[in-house]
Amino acid sequence: MSENINNALIVGASQGIGLGFVRALLQNEKISNIYATYRREASANELIALSHKHPQQLFVLQVDVTDESQIAAAVRQIGTSASKLHLVIYCVGVLHEGQLAPEKSLIQIDSDNLLYYFQVNSIGAVLFAKYLLPLLRHSDRNIFASISAKVGSIGDNRLGGWYGYRASKAALNMLLRTAAIEYSRKCPQTIVVALHPGTTDTRLSLPFQKNVPPEQLFSVEHTVNLLLSVIEGLKIKDSGNFFSWDGTVLPW
């Protein structure tokens, strides 16, 4: 593979916003190679079909982010065909899954569930920041973004509930802010940001959509276009911040 090309990595691309980024980047002439991860084949049919349709452009890797060795192996695998990445977006997230549902009250707090929220929503992202640093240390402007959520804003928390999801997104934000400081020293061309997508019509939001006014429920395509515009406009000074879909900076 030539080195004068733009390489992107979308983590958590089987569904929803991650899959939407893959679709959008396949149309983007500036992006030559897209690496995309999925966890389970069963929910990654569309992504895998896209990789068969675009075999020179889209490369899929299987990664469960709760297993650090799988993250390390995927990054090693990417490194065999690309010496640098220009855009990384961590789109993995869990709000509900099987018996796991967001807590409405303290009585529902369960330590295993809390740990799981942190593993998926917070720790996976910072592990990617750990392993990807060598592929982001180059002289071109590049982005390490992670999809966070406004409900992870401590300053904005007025409703309560959703302990594990909120806390894991707040932890994600702190991990990204801290990584941004280390990256500014070791990897100064990387802009590290947390992004709030707005309520988006995906599997994750589906059980909670009934109280969302239609104009506030974005399609995946709309969210992806908005977030790509935010990413496009980012400057080095923006690293370490938390941006909403409209480009405004959110309170921590």
Ligand X SMILES: NC(=O)c1ccc[n+]([C@@H]2O[C@H](COP(=O)([O-])OP(=O)(O)OC[C@H]3O[C@@H](n4cnc5c(N)ncnc54)[C@H](OP(=O)(O)O)[C@@H]3O)[C@@H](O)[C@H]2O)c1
Tokens 């490369």 correspond to 59
Residues between 73 and 92 that touch ligand X (CB under 6 A): 91-92
Asked if 60 interacts with ligand X (CB under 6 A), we say no
Burial of 11 (0-12, 13-18, 19+ CB in 10 A): buried
- Of 59-67, 154-162, 183-191, 237-245, the segment contacting ligand X by CB under 6 A is 59-67
User: CB–CB of 195/173 below 8 Å?
Assistant: no
Tell me the CA distances in angstroms from 245 to 79, 131, 145, one per residue in order.
31, 27, 13
Q: How far is the CB of 124 from ligand X (least distance, A)?
A: 7
Which of 6, 7, 33, 199 is the binder for ligand X (CB under 6 A)? 199
Asked if 166 interacts with ligand X (CB under 6 A), we say no
Number of residues located near ligand X, criterion CB under 6 A = 27
Q: What is the DSSP letter of 251?
A: P
Asked if 94 interacts with ligand X (CB under 6 A), we say yes
Q: How far is the CB of 22 from ligand X (least distance, A)?
A: 10
Which of 190, 202, 239, 241 is the binder for ligand X (CB under 6 A)? 202
Residues 6+ apart with CB under 8 A from 3: 83, 84
Residues 6+ apart with CB under 8 A from 19: 13, 46, 47, 220
Residues between 107 and 136 that touch ligand X (CB under 6 A): 120
Asked if 61 interacts with ligand X (CB under 6 A), we say no
Residues between 211 and 250 that touch ligand X (CB under 6 A): none
32 vs 103, beta carbon nearer ligand X: 103
- Of 25-33, 50-58, 134-142, 193-201, the segment contacting ligand X by CB under 6 A is 193-201
Phi, psi of 237 (to 5 degrees): -65, -15
Element (H, E) at 87: strand 87-90
